[in-house]
Amino acid sequence: MRTLWKGAISFGLVHIPVRVYPATENKGVKFRYLHRECKTPVRYLKYCPTCGREVGPEEIVNGYEYQKGRFVVLEDEDFERLPAPETKVVDIVDFVDLAEIDPIYFDKSYYLAPADGGVKAYALLRRAMVETGRVAIARAVLRAKQHLAAVRVLEGRVLVMETMFWPDEIRSWAGLEGVDAEPTFHENELRMAETLIGSLTGPFMPSKYTDEHRQALRELIQAKVEGREIYEHREPEAVKVLDLMEALRASVEMARSHRAGGPPGTT
């Protein structure tokens, strides 16, 4: 696995040398834009519409649009005046219960592995976090950007750093139409909804979930490569259910039949 960077976990006065690795990968199918006529990949040019020509990298500066169509330019020396965050350091500032962190804050995941000279301190921190049931809140710089992060123990073995959104990056749901509505419903509707939830409840097993669209897309691409006939996928007809209670009953029956491995209507 490719190392993203080498640095250290700062834990009080203790520095734990670590290597950082990406914990996830995007397996989405990637496409390139081609010129339809000759099937050549198209290029994107940095073009100035005012000067009417392509511009080179030495002619490009950073600009911030503070009003519509008005920009202020920031030069390299401007950035150098800013207080520089400590790079290559995962600076632990607090410990909290994982349940206190709403998942909406989580962004990307990275593995932290001990580097040379850090095995004992790494294992000590890992053991202490397991024993206390706490996760660490830290600051870390990745790709020249400072992140809030949570460091936790995965499967009792490896430290995982979850980069997080800052509080002001979380959009408020206040004002979303309908979320505050309190419609009346019958008690038996609530009980039936709870029954449906119970019928669908089980242990979380990630391996049973697959990206069906990606699989179908890859099959389509392979068929095109091999020149095979492509069959149109037809969606099953939707069942129109107007009554909420009827929909709940049908859903419970479907869930129970699915778990039993039989078709709907069997017991």
Residue that is written with structure tokens 């580097």 in the block: 115
Asked whether residue 9 falls in the same domain as residue 131, the answer is yes
User: pLDDT of 209-266, one tens digit each?
Assistant: 888 889 888 888 888 888 887 766 666 666 665 577 788 778 888 887 777 664 444 4
User: What is the Cα–Cα distance from 179 to 168, expressed in whole angstroms?
Assistant: 22
121 in any annotated domain: yes
Number of domains composing the chain: 2
Q: Tell me, yes or no, whether 135 and 258 share the same domain.
A: no
Burial of 146 (0-12, 13-18, 19+ CB in 10 A): middle
Q: In CATH, what number is assigned to the domain containing residue 130?
A: 2.40.290.10
Q: What is the DSSP letter of 57?
A: G
Residues 127 and 160 in one domain: yes
Q: Kindly state whether residues 19 and 106 are assigned to the same domain.
A: yes
- Domain check: are 146 and 95 in the same one? yes
110 contacts 163 by C-beta, under 8 angstroms: yes
pTM: 0.80
CB 65 within 8 A of CB 71: yes
pLDDT for 227 equals 84
Backbone angles phi, psi at 257, to 5 degrees: -65, -40
- What mean pLDDT comes out for the span 17-29? 94
d(Cα 195, Cα 248) in Å, to the nearest integer? 9
Q: Structural domain of residue 101, as residue ranges?
A: 5-26+83-169
Three-state DSSP state, 135: strand
List pLDDT tens digits, range 119-152.
999 999 999 999 999 999 999 988 778 999 999 9
Q: Say if residue 116 is in the same domain as residue 17.
A: yes
Q: Are residues 10 and 99 in the same domain?
A: yes
Angle at 32 (CA atoms; ends 27, 34), nearest 5 degrees: 160
Q: Is residue 229 part of a domain?
A: no
The pLDDT, as a whole number, for residue 242 is 57
Residues 109 and 136 in one domain: yes
β-strands 62-67, 14-22: how paired? unpaired
Distances (CA, A) of 247 to 141, 188, 208, 250, 252: 50, 13, 26, 5, 9
Considering the domain architecture, whether residues 156 and 245 belong to the same structural domain is answered as no
Looking at the fold, whether 89 and 155 belong to one and the same domain comes out as: yes
Q: Tell me the range of 9-13, 123-127, 144-148, 198-202 where mean pLDDT is highest.
A: 123-127
61 lies in some domain: no
Q: For residues 18 and 105, state if they share a domain.
A: yes
The answer on 257 and 149 residing in a single domain is no
